[in-house]
A and B are shown apart, each in its own frame.
Chain A
């Protein structure tokens, strides 16, 4: 869009409106964050007295720490799988023209749109067929499926301005295809791979609807959900604040690629 001029200026009313939307988007997060610093037993807002006791309580909770551990293992392992499978698939789609390419691209993006709860229900039956049980391995494979489209989208975005003659020049100079990939292609798509991997990692850490079926209800989001449904203390908020910090550290990597 060109420079704003008289026909397209943001008036005061629109400014106030935008501010209201921002408040709507951030208010529940800010409130939950503030509640985490309560000193009392109840999630009061604003907290009558500030303390870090609920952070200490969360760090000493075996259930939550075990859940955090399992969630991190699942998220890291599934992210690696999604990153490899998604990047390779993006290269296939970007570099090659083959029968059924559009159809395959649509199929690869389906896990974003199709309900994870349906997938989970089916995995309860498909896992035993493949000799697997619910647990860490099953959750890793399931979450990897959900991460693939995000990696593909980000890697395709970083391939959009990639000059393939660089690859051809490298091959013509007698450099092998593997070396060409690692020295030319991979460095170029690295920001896309990282952005896609981070998106996949954060979505795995937060997954509920698929984990419900393919874990023993022992990942962090499921443990937090159970806690929230049975107790009304600020520990869910305290744990959430720690997770929020992880998101805030990782988010700039996604934003950079997404927004160009």
Chain B
């Protein structure tokens, strides 16, 4: 694969394994759509679901050569998904093995969590990516932290509802095109559904899950 050397090389990393149903994929597509094809060469890297497979050299080279890296991922247990962590481990090994990488690559994060207050849940995952940048001499820029991703993904195109997400996307695109002297602070996107209703939905599924567990235990009781 060859890229026009005059274009900005943008690598978008999809850290979700949920395929086309993933909210993270929608956010990634939103960012990708806004990045100009005329001035940028875009590549998307998907994390691997098969633990026996390794990332091929071409994939690692794409990440290493990127001028801008956009990591889009769901928050798993307040951290990165294991699948994305594996990609970072293999990229770290690739760099430690002496392979060259673009030390000025600008790094952005779009993290999507299931819970309504992203400012209370996403901080450590963003810190991990900041640590990646520090270790690998990459240029950390800023994060877009999205609360209750599935709700935001379904309502993001409703006009005039909440323009913060659109402003955040615009900031990423502008910064990729021409690095701002002072990158903006992290963006926090909240769902339009009030938090008490989201809690009710969560409790419904927890109750349902507990009922099914009790039923399973009763069914299995004679053999336990």
Say whether A associates with B.
no
Interface residues in chain A, defined as those with a beta carbon under 8 Å from any beta carbon in chain B: none
Interface residues in chain B, defined as those with a beta carbon under 8 Å from any beta carbon in chain A: none
